[in-house]
Amino acid sequence: MKIGNLNIGSKLILAPMAEISDAPFRKIAKEFGAGLTFTQMVSADGIVKGNFNTLRFATFHKSEKPIGIQILGNDEAILREAARKLSELKPDVIDLNCGCPVNKVISNKMGAWLLNDTKKLGRLVKALVEGSNGIPVSVKLRLGMNPNKVTVVENAKVAEDNGAAFVTIHARSRKDKYDVEPAWEWIEKVKKNVSIPVIGNGSVFTPFDAVRMLEQTGCDSVMVARGALGNPFIFRDFNNLYEKNIQPPQPDIDEIKNLALRHIKMLADEYGNINSLDKAKKNIIWYFRMFGGITELLMKIFKAKTRIELEEIVINHSVLIKNNLHTGDDVDYFFKKFQNKVLFWLEEDERFTKFLNANVA
């Protein structure tokens, strides 16, 4: 797929994810074969005002390129100026978020709220294009505010008419939760109604899911979000499957262990040993979510207070998995919980009673 002068071929794209797609996460995804990554969403207003944390989320190392920056806003003048400022960082794409379903964002008439106002969306895209100094602008869309009011085709067309280089379609409405199957057929409908590239998104957890989306919808590329959590192997495996017809094997537990340990170190280098702990904990859980012993791992992880403790937990847990010493966990059950909520350990149910009652302070 071509984006301006950039050609990412058939490679998968890593989605922008709040509190997740930071520099360590992006670097690992690229190392495993992602064709394009995105920063986590940043506020246009924060960029214009020079907010430190906003600017930090938007920055990246040149070794991360190609990379896109996703921006959130609803004011034309602010978005135009934000695009101008972001263009100085030389990203490969500036993406307008028109899909965030969070109530706080919606109440400020941003994110998925814009799906209701096609004309407004078009003006915002135009403003970004005017300010971007030639850097391609894209738009990430949901199907509409609810399943009964699907506006994605007209929104994609107005994005194209106002200069968008491509659109990404998350095949759910704003109202839909993750337990609702994505309506991939709308990706195909958008593809048939615009001439710019269309990227598909929604419940891609395996390389086979990505191939199926490409074949069923005719989209130009696939964006992966939850499917990449603890699983950067999806990028490598897809490339081997799609380009070479090599069937992807299950990642070796030693490879997972070593990558988890390296991810912990990268997070510590980025944020410091203390501030990186919570980020490291959730990533460790995601790396081992497809193996037995997850309940025991959760209890140990959230009692850990140092980086050294976390590293020891990873090493010891890997030994137990390698020697088939974990019993009692239903892997399929936990995978389904993960599909519905990535921080699945925060959901109270009968299987987590022991964990939730444990003293993890």
Question: What are 286-289's contacts with CB under 8 Å, separation 24+?
Answer: 286/229, 286/230, 286/231, 286/338, 286/342, 287/230, 287/231, 287/256, 287/259, 287/260, 287/263, 288/230, 288/256, 288/260, 288/317, 288/321, 289/230, 289/334, 289/335, 289/338
Strand 144-146 and strand 149-150: the pairing is antiparallel
Phi, psi of 336 (to 5 degrees): -65, -40
**Structural tokens at position 135:** 């850097």
The amino acid present at 81, given as its one-letter code, is: E
Angle at 185 between CA 181 and CA 191, to 5 degrees: 135
The DSSP element (H or E) to which 150 belongs, if any, is: strand 149-150
SS3 at position 140? strand
Cα–Cα distance for residue pair 172/144, rounded to 1 Å: 8
Catalytic residue among 100, 129, 150, 259, which? Answer: 100
The reply to whether 100 belongs to the active site is yes
- CA 16, 17, 21, 26 torsion-angle sign: negative
Catalytic amino acids?
A: 100
